[in-house]
Structure 1
Amino acid sequence: MNTVLRTEAAIVKQAKKQKQKKAITIALFILPALLVYSVFILYPIVATFQYSLFSWSGGQGERTFIGLQNYTVLFADQTFWSALQNNMMLILASVFIQIPLGLLMALVLFSPIKGIKLLNVLYFLPYLMSTVAIGLLWIFMYDPINGPMNQVVQWFGVEPVAWLADQNTALIAVLIVIIWQFAPFYMILFKAAMVGIPDELYEAAEIDGANGIQKFFSITFPALIPTIVTSSILAIVGSLKAFDIFYIMTGGGPGNATEIVGTYMFKQGFIHFNMGYASTIAAMMFILAFISVLIIQVFEYRRKKRGAVL
């Protein structure tokens, strides 16, 4: 009896040692990635909130602790709220135009039509181009004299439009470019999700006499809801931290017509050398993105919970 107990104890001890070795191995593999994540993600976030509490010109300049004064100034800054409003317009365009367009493109690529391989290339091409190249390309496209956009407009008897120089059209012009550039990204997400839908479901729907629209709303769309949620999160976060295409095409102008939080933060930090205030703007961008993602995740969790109950 004692021999059996000692044997069982030895087996348990050996199992614990194996678990410890496995845990150490996993930790060693995770450690490099965790180190990189901490240095390039976590530390900058913490540092941003820290710098937002100081009056600081950047570089080796002296930092003066001012507490929450930068946040008080920020909440009264009309330029910031105007820039945030433009970010909200970008969010709306991304969620309600860009994502549906990506879904439509994915559906087209799943249709039995000729030239599908060519469409794959044409659809995906804008996402492969660099943002600088896209910005310069569309600056030419919007040229008020020789730009193709105005040539098309003139065919319909409309006077040429100063797309990027007019406060009424500048934001819309940039939003069109962003939708054109990033719709292929969401197309890829939807296409990958649609590949995972079993063909048996569509075959069963055809036997029941369902048409294409009915199959989409009964099978395809419900299966794509998790991808739609993920796409919405990416679109919202991407819209809040947008910078490059706006800075290249308009620099936030004319006036503040296309000023967004990213360009305003850049100007405060690297043009006006108000790094403390720029850090406050960056901190607010993080807070808004975090809250937005949290709200979406809560709604998604409740939806899944309701689905599980049903």
Structure 2
Amino acid sequence: MDSTTTASTLGSIAKTQSQMKRRRARSKRITVALFIAPALLVYLIYIVYPIFGTFQYSLYDWKGGADKTFVGFNNYAKLFADSVFWVSLANNLKVVLASVFLQIPLGLLMALLLFAPIKGMRFFQTVYFMPFLMSTVAIGLLWVFMFDPLNGSVNKLIGLFGIDNVAWLSDEKTAMASILLVVVWQYSPFYMILFKAAIVGISEELYEAAAIDGAGPWTRFASITFPMLLPTIVTSSILAIVGSLKAFDIFYIMTGGGPNSKTELLGIYMYKQAFIHFNMGFASAVAFMMFLLAFLVAGTIQYMEYNRKKKEAF
């Protein structure tokens, strides 16, 4: 066999191998696409399409029937001119602050306590997590009874110290703080579980090496635990912020947005406009604004975290 034939044969083999690699790669892409397609279809139908549909409805004066009148951005102009909208937005920001600066630190503290050398920690873990397992409706009604100005257990407790009864949920000064207390109590266990899972994933060798070097508990937390928990803290912050911006149930159950809109949230505001006043177009504008706020905040946090990781890489 001469050199020309050998070269031709090797070229044919290389070409065949290249074709086989392309077929395998194409087959792999098709397989991946087939597995992704059902989830992608559900996502497009139930997430993406409703977002664009909501924006479309927000451009109409629509009462929920067959008749719709195109009004452009008039609903948004009315929205920004409505004082209740700004009060609701401010209240949502209060929920965001309570979630980020109270729920997450409290969840981290509870997670750290679970690793403390204290007997009966398994019992406390169960007790800690119970509020998150309860129905929001049950929690709302439970605390409504506890905050009752006449027979509530909260007023009976403070009465032992000589403090007069307080109308917790009907007083403009205390209504918001009372509900935020319930929200923090209910959702802190969720972040406790996230932090506990993250702490379990930290190598014990790091702590052992730090202990050998003479590092105390606070030093080990500041130099090992906290830095390793930063990704979980970012994720928890996104969940807390997005969840706070769409909060509805516990506030509606306990006060319905009162008194005098002091506990009104964007979700309650949207619900009232849609199902009490039947201003579906206007309610759609409120809903789309809620989506934009959550999207922008979550996107900003993710972008900041991406830049942080990029700087650490260099």
Which bracket does the TM-score occupy, shorter chain normalised?
A: over 0.9
Give, in angstroms, the shift of residue 95 of structure 1.
Answer: 0.3
Matches within 5 A, 1:141-220: 141-220=146-225
Residue 131 (structure 1) aligned to one of 115, 131, 136: 136
Query: Alpha-carbon deviations, 1:54-110, whole Å to 9, x = none?
Result: 11011x331111001111111111000000000000000000001000000000001
Give, in angstroms, the shift of residue 20 of structure 1.
Answer: 1.2
Q: Which residue does 1:19 correspond to in 2?
A: 25
Partner SS, residue 266 of structure 1: helix
Q: Which residue does 2:236 correspond to in 1?
A: 231
Percent of pairs with identical residues:
60
**Is the deviation greater in 155-164 or in 298-307?**
298-307
The yes-or-no answer on 1:299 pairing with 2:304 is yes
Q: Which residue does 1:28 correspond to in 2?
A: 34
Structure-1 separation of matches of 2:50 and 2:76 = 19
Query: Alpha-carbon deviations, 1:134-153, whole Å to 9, x = none?
Result: 11111111111111111111
The yes-or-no answer on 1:83 pairing with 2:88 is yes
TM-score, with length taken from structure 2? 0.96
Residue 251 (structure 2) aligned to one of 232, 246, 249: 246
Q: What one-letter code is carried by the residue in structure 2 that aligns with 1:42?
A: V
RMSD across aligned positions (CA): 0.9
Q: What one-letter code is carried by the residue in structure 1 that aligns with 2:212?
A: I
Give, in angstroms, the shift of residue 293 of structure 1.
Answer: 1.1
Q: Which residue does 1:45 correspond to in 2?
A: 51
Q: What one-letter code is carried by the residue in structure 1 that aligns with 2:205?
A: E
Structure-2 separation of matches of 1:8 and 1:305 = 40
Structure-1 separation of matches of 2:274 and 2:88 = 16
Q: What one-letter code is carried by the residue in structure 2 that aligns with 1:38?
A: L
Query: Alpha-carbon deviations, 1:228-276, whole Å to 9, x = none?
Result: 1111111110000001111111110111010000000000001000000
Q: What one-letter code is carried by the residue in structure 2 that aligns with 1:273?
A: F
Structure-1 separation of matches of 2:151 and 2:218 = 43
Q: What one-letter code is carried by the residue in structure 2 that aligns with 1:40?
A: Y
**Is the deviation greater in 262-271 or in 300-309?**
300-309
Give, in angstroms, the shift of residue 3 of structure 1.
Answer: 1.5
Q: What one-letter code is carried by the residue in structure 2 that aligns with 1:238?
A: G
Structure-2 separation of matches of 1:136 and 1:13 = 67
Give, in angstroms, the shift of residue 18 of structure 1.
Answer: 1.3
The yes-or-no answer on 1:290 pairing with 2:292 is no
Q: What one-letter code is carried by the residue in structure 1 that aligns with 2:216?
A: N
Q: What one-letter code is carried by the residue in structure 1 that aligns with 2:237?
A: S
**Is the deviation greater in 169-178 or in 291-300?**
291-300
Residue 277 (structure 2) aligned to one of 261, 265, 272: 272
Q: What one-letter code is carried by the residue in structure 1 that aligns with 2:165?
A: P
Partner SS, residue 64 of structure 1: strand
Structure-2 separation of matches of 1:29 and 1:206 = 48
Structure-2 separation of matches of 1:47 and 1:141 = 42
Query: Alpha-carbon deviations, 1:11-55, whole Å to 9, x = none?
Result: 111111111111111111111111111111111111011111111
Give, in angstroms, the shift of residue 173 of structure 1.
Answer: 0.8
Structure-1 separation of matches of 2:16 and 2:308 = 48
Structure-2 separation of matches of 1:15 and 1:219 = 45
Q: Which residue does 2:73 correspond to in 1?
A: 68
The yes-or-no answer on 1:54 pairing with 2:60 is yes
Q: What one-letter code is carried by the residue in structure 2 that aligns with 1:186?
A: Y
Give, in angstroms, the shift of residue 298 of structure 1.
Answer: 2.1
Q: Which residue does 1:140 correspond to in 2?
A: 145
What is the aligned residue count? 308
Partner SS, residue 166 of structure 1: coil
